[in-house]
């Protein structure tokens, strides 16, 4: 039997897609995929560095894996991804039982580095490769996609925006886009493998640009791929949404009717300090254009509270913007200082934790009410649900997502299977789930 590898993925979908890439690279060298960490010869933690809490969680997991390594000294333990890039040898200083530290642009060397550690006697120095490569797109690497209904294509790597609070440009390097032919080839391959939904991924995916070919052009080409029922993308950047792009989206019916538009703050003063490149008014104007050109689309967002210098008045502007826009959902966090970012270098993290927590709670409470109202407003409407499979807790239910990305529960029947598109009428709703009945065809 070949050596077995297990990858635990933390953080965003980009990391999920990178784990498939790593599995692809390792399988090509004869590795097999283990069912869990206990069965594996090689365990990799593919990590996130966006918040301190995410990193603390990884060290907790590494602590647990130390005892696994004590039982099996031949176990090779690696840390990959954004935290590997950010902390570099700081990881082995804190967790000396780690054998490998590999950044997001160095995965090509992963099989070689793993093999080297496996063949050594356990006394080897840890192997570290965190070089960033502004051209690396892994175009020729065979991906090991987990078969299913929904999958990802990473169409862009890195980020050039340098928002002051964000570590991503430092750990993922410069922005670069996959050639459109390669994206289309991957989408066609996924359709042939039975995938029904693809999500195009990029840190600022709407900034996609490759030799005169922009994001609107890319969506048009992927939309033309036969066999795919739905195309999604995440995360776009608010400034990229020209009317041309919005109108293109309106003309592509298989694009999921959901825009995730990270606003981050409702205070223009704070947005300016964050270097987001738009004002609260410009964001509101964008929302107006989205509602006019794309009626019925769901809009979700990301928000940070407690950014350095945020006053109660600034926070109130965020609350007001959220109340006016009435987002259908939001990811909300309090500010977490990331060493190396511009904010960490130039702004004291001066909002006390209890104030951050209080603001976050007030914001979450408001958004919960809005999310509930948004789902309640769906009752009586027709939705098109892409079925993902039977419910884990209740196999008499089918679980899927509506085009506007709402989790939707349908009664199971023998004619409907995972991957089917079902027209249904919403009969009930909670703040996070719709319940619907199929419409007789």
Nearest 5°: CA angle at 246, between 383 and 189? 70
Judged by CB, which is closer to ligand SF4: 303, or 424?
A: 303
- The one-character DSSP state at 37 is G
Judged by CB, which is closer to ligand SF4: 347, or 381?
A: 347
Residue from 62, 92, 163, 330 that binds ligand SF4 (CB under 6 A)?
Answer: 163
Judged by CB, which is closer to ligand SF4: 124, or 331?
A: 331
Q: In whole angstroms, what is the distance from residue 17 CA to residue 355 CA?
A: 36
Q: In whole angstroms, what is the distance from residue 340 CA to residue 167 CA?
A: 7
Judged by CB, which is closer to ligand SF4: 25, or 321?
A: 321
Chain positions 384 to 403 lying near ligand SF4, rule: CB under 6 A, are none
Q: Applying CB under 6 A, does 299 fall inside the site for ligand SF4?
A: no
DSSP state string for 217-275: HHHHHHHT-TT--EEEEE---GGG--HHHHHHHHT-TTB-SEEE---B-S-HHHHHHHT
Judged by CB, which is closer to ligand SF4: 168, or 383?
A: 168
Q: Where are the alpha helices (H) located in 72-179, listed in sequence order?
A: 82-87, 90-94, 110-119, 168-172
In this structure, are strands 76-81 and 100-102 parallel, antiparallel, or unpaired? parallel
Judged by CB, which is closer to ligand SF4: 31, or 233?
A: 233
Closest by CA position to 150, among listed 252, 13, 251, 8: 13
Residue with tokens 């019925």: 296
Q: Applying CB under 6 A, does 161 fall inside the site for ligand SF4?
A: yes
Q: Applying CB under 6 A, does 168 fall inside the site for ligand SF4?
A: yes
Burial degree of 132 (CB within 10 A; 0-12, 13-18, 19+): middle
Judged by CB, which is closer to ligand SF4: 144, or 302?
A: 302
Which of the ranges 8-16, 24-32, 165-173, 193-201 carries the binding residues for ligand SF4, by CB under 6 A? 165-173
Least Cβ distance, residue 82 to ligand SF4 (angstroms): 11
Judged by CB, which is closer to ligand SF4: 169, or 329?
A: 169
Q: Where are the alpha helices (H) located in 72-167, listed in sequence order?
A: 82-87, 90-94, 110-119
**Crossing angle between the packed helical segments 215-223 and 180-192, to the nearest 10 degrees:** 30
155 φ, ψ (degrees, to nearest 5): -95, -10
Residue from 73, 74, 94, 162 that binds ligand SF4 (CB under 6 A)?
Answer: 162
Least Cβ distance, residue 338 to ligand SF4 (angstroms): 10
Do 195 and 150 contact (CB within 8 A), yes or no?
yes
Least Cβ distance, residue 356 to ligand SF4 (angstroms): 18
Judged by CB, which is closer to ligand SF4: 256, or 262?
A: 262
- Say whether the peptide bond before residue 277 is cis (omega within 30 degrees of 0): no
List residues bridging with 45 in a β-sheet: 8, 79
Residue with tokens 């301190």: 52
Least Cβ distance, residue 5 to ligand SF4 (angstroms): 29
Judged by CB, which is closer to ligand SF4: 321, or 398?
A: 321
Judged by CB, which is closer to ligand SF4: 16, or 99?
A: 16
Which of the ranges 99-107, 163-171, 351-359, 361-369 carries the binding residues for ligand SF4, by CB under 6 A? 163-171
Q: Which residues have C-beta within 8 Å of that of residue 123, sequence separation ≥ 6?
A: none
Q: In whole angstroms, what is the distance from residue 52 CA to residue 39 CA?
A: 30
User: How many residues at the interface with ligand SF4, by CB under 6 A?
Assistant: 10
Least Cβ distance, residue 337 to ligand SF4 (angstroms): 14
Here's the x/- map for ligand SF4, 193-222, by CB under 6 A: it reads as ----------xx------------------
Q: In whole angstroms, what is the distance from residue 138 CA to residue 374 CA?
A: 40
Residue from 11, 111, 151, 169 that binds ligand SF4 (CB under 6 A)?
Answer: 169
Q: Applying CB under 6 A, does 300 fall inside the site for ligand SF4?
A: no
Terminal alpha carbon distance of the chain:
50
Residue from 87, 166, 398, 404 that binds ligand SF4 (CB under 6 A)?
Answer: 166
Chain positions 313 to 342 lying near ligand SF4, rule: CB under 6 A, are none
Least Cβ distance, residue 234 to ligand SF4 (angstroms): 11
Residue from 84, 159, 228, 280 that binds ligand SF4 (CB under 6 A)?
Answer: 159
- Contacting positions for ligand SF4 (CB under 6 A): 159, 161-163, 166, 168-169, 203-204, 237
């Amino acid at each position: 039997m070949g050596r077995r590898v297990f990858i635990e993925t933390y953080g965003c979908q980009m990391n999920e897609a990178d784990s498939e890439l790593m599995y692809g690279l390792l399988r090509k060298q004869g590795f097999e995929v283990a069912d869990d960490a206990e069965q594996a010869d090689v365990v990799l933690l593919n990590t996130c560095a966006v918040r301190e809490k995410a990193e603390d969680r990884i060290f907790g997991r590494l602590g647990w894996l130390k005892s696994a390594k004590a039982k099996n000294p031949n176990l090779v333990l690696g840390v990959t991804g954004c935290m590997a890039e950010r902390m570099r040898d700081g990881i082995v200083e804190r967790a000396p039982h780690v054998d490998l530290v590999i950044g997001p642009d160095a995965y090509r060397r992963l099989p070689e580095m793993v093999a080297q550690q496996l063949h050594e006697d356990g006394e080897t120095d840890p192997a570290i490769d965190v070089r960033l490569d502004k051209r690396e797109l892994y175009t020729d690497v065979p991906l090991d996609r987990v078969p299913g209904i929904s999958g990802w294509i990473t169409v862009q790597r890195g980020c050039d925006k340098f928002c002051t609070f964000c570590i991503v440009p430092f750990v993922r390097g410069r922005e670069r886009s996959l050639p459109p032919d390669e994206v289309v080839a991957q989408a066609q391959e996924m359709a042939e493998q039975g995938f029904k939904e693809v999500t195009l991924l990029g840190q600022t995916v709407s900034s996609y640009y490759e030799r005169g070919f922009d994001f609107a052009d890319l969506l048009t080409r992927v939309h033309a791929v036969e066999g795919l029922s739905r195309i999604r993308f995440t995360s776009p950047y608010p400034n990229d949404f020209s009317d041309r792009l919005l109108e293109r989206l309106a003309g592509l019916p298989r694009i999921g009717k959901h825009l995730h538009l990270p606003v981050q703050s409702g205070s223009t003063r704070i947005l300016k300090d964050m270097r987001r490149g738009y004002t609260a008014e410009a964001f509101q104007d964008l929302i107006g254009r989205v509602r006019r050109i794309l009626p019925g689309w769901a809009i979700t967002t990301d928000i940070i509270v407690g950014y350095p210098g945020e006053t109660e008045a600034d926070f109130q502007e965020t609350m007001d913007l959220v109340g006016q826009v009435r987002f259908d959902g939001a990811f909300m966090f309090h500010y977490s200082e990331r060493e190396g970012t511009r904010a960490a270098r130039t702004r004291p993290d001066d909002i006390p934790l209890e104030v951050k927590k209080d603001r976050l709670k007030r914001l979450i409470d408001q958004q919960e009410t809005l999310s509930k109202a948004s789902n309640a407003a769906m009752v009586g409407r027709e939705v098109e649900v892409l079925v993902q499979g039977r419910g884990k807790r209740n196999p008499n239910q089918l679980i899927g997502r509506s085009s506007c990305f709402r989790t939707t529960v349908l009664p199971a029947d023998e004619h409907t299977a995972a991957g089917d598109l079902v027209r249904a009428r919403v009969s009930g709703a909670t703040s996070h789930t719709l319940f619907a009945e199929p419409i007789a065809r």
